[in-house]
Amino acid sequence: MTEKPRYRALFLGAGPQMQCGVGQFTRLLQEMLEKSEPGASTTLTLTQTDGTTGAIWRAVGTAESVICSFPIVAWKRVIVRPLLALAFARLRRRKTVLIQHEWAGLNRMRRLTYVPALWLADTIVMFSPLVRRELADDRFMRGMVRKCVLAPLPPNIAAPAGIEDSQLRRRLAAARSDGRLIIGHFGSIYPGKQPNGLLEIGATLKERGLKPLIVYVGSFIRGVDNTEQRFHARVAELGLTGDVIVSGYVASDHEVFGLLGEVDVFCYPLDEGLTARRSSVLACVQSGRPLIVTGPALPEEFDHHPRFKELINRGAILLVPRDSDSVAYADTIVAALKRPTMHVPFDFDGWWTDVANAVRAQL
């Protein structure tokens, strides 16, 4: 007799090594599901040392469904193990739910490693109609669109009651006191976020005598794109040496919001435009500072996400027309600084309840 599965869902994770936005999302999603159904889920840790073939087989057998979030930075060297877990799930007739945050923005070689996961998935949860369209435009993967469902992405971190001081925070505070304009960018730094685009805007503001100091609260994602080298070369070319700070990895939410609170304005010039999967934007908005970002490519981008749409309608997020140059972004920044600070109330649990319900419906 086959033993009845003990859990509703098995989450694939990478333990403490999962220090990225997708990793944080996975942990919070499981926590929210556990709040409504205590004991209904468990996690299988897969690293270079954890997760033997036998352990994966047994773990998959304990759950009705297997949930896997891609892309996971920490899994670049152990990609076979989560794929093996999804394959075992199919063999054991378990439901497989793949949460796919990106597609066309991924490095081509990285996309290839995720192709088997999409094939093995019963359901593919996405957070952006644009990403779903990118999948539909991929001639080899367009058949996967029939498996896709949209879910509302919540912010990965909530503004805490207090903040943690740091040497960098004190440096930013001193710079503001000296009349410098602090422009912020939060989250991992990689080509899809067009980090060099913000440098062009900073150079334009510097030409106007506004003394910008651009702070990237986050770190570069290691890859084959030479993003960090090209970034620093562009800083030098634009004459911004001394006007740009990259914080590196920041461990605590209290320290993150200590830094975000010293920013005057946030800016994201995105080639793809704002999408409903940009949780880093949602973190910045909680600081109450104005946030300038490129407008969405699709008019229906936020139709499935009323909370995100409300932030735009209320003016917490200011959209710049697509194909605008650095002058247009600079103009919008200057105009935004004249507005009063806008503190947006955030029902953090409500945002997470929305996405947990959307994923639970697929189990």
Task: Examine residue 47 and state whether it is found in any structural domain, yes or no.
Answer: yes
Residue 179 and residue 101 share a domain? no
Residue 161 lies in a domain: no
**Structure confidence at residue 13 (pLDDT):** 84
Neighbours of 341 (CB within 10 A): 9
**Do the domain assignments include residue 2?**
no
Domain co-membership, 257 together with 290: yes
Phi-psi region of 288 (alpha: psi -120 to 50; beta: other; left: phi over 0): left
Q: What pLDDT sits at residue 49?
A: 77
Give the per-residue pLDDT at 54.
95
356 and 335 in one domain?
A: no
Examine residue 144 and state whether it is found in any structural domain, yes or no. yes
Answer yes or no: is 276 within a domain.
yes
Q: Is the dihedral of CA 87, 147, 99, 39 positive or negative?
A: negative
Say what the pLDDT of residue 70 is.
83
| pLDDT per residue as tens digits for the range 341-361 | 767 678 999 999 999 999 999
User: Side by side, which strands form the sheet with 7-13?
Assistant: 41-45, 7-13, 63-70, 95-100, 123-126, 148-150
In which domain, by residue range, is 121 found?
Answer: 7-155+351-360
Domain co-membership, 128 together with 249: no
Considering just the CA atoms, what is the radius of gyration of the chain in Å? 21
Do 89 and 116 sit in the same domain of this protein? yes
Distance CA 200, CA 202 (A): 5
Matching residue, tokens 């879910």: 151
CATH number for the domain harbouring residue 308: 3.40.50.2000
pLDDT at 107: 78
Same-domain pairing of 129 and 236? no
3-state secondary structure of 244: strand
pLDDT under 70: residue ranges of the chain: 1-3, 16-20, 71-77, 223-224, 342, 344
Q: Are residues 77 and 149 in the same domain?
A: yes
Instruction: Kindly state whether residues 135 and 178 are assigned to the same domain.
Output: no
- Same domain, yes or no, for 124 and 183? no
Q: Are 334 and 193 found together in one domain?
A: yes
Residues 38 and 144 in one domain: yes
On whether both 38 and 125 belong to a single domain, the answer is yes
pLDDT (0 to 100) of residue 261? 94
Number of domains in the chain: 2
